[in-house]
Amino acid sequence: MAGRSVNKVILLGHLGKDAETRFTTSGVALTRFTLATNRRFKDQQTGDWKEETEWHNVTLWRSENLANFLTKGKQVYLEGRLQTRSYEDKDGQKRYSTEVVVDEIILLGGRGEGGPGGDEAGWGEASQRGPVSMPRSQSQPKPASAPEPDFPPAVGEDDVPF
Q: Are strands 9-15 and 49-61 parallel, antiparallel or unpaired?
A: unpaired
> Going residue by residue through the chain (162 aa), what tens digit of pLDDT does each one get?
578 999 999 999 999 999 999 999 999 999 999 999 999 999 899 989 999 999 999 999 988 788 889 999 999 999 999 999 999 999 999 999 999 999 999 999 756 444 443 333 333 333 334 445 555 444 444 444 444 444 444 444 454 444
23/31 Cα distance (integer angstroms): 9
Instruction: Indicate the domain borders of the chain.
Output: 9-135
Q: Is the Cβ–Cβ distance between 112 and 72 less than 8 Å?
A: no
Fold of the CATH domain 9-135: OB fold (Dihydrolipoamide Acetyltransferase, E2P) (2.40.50)
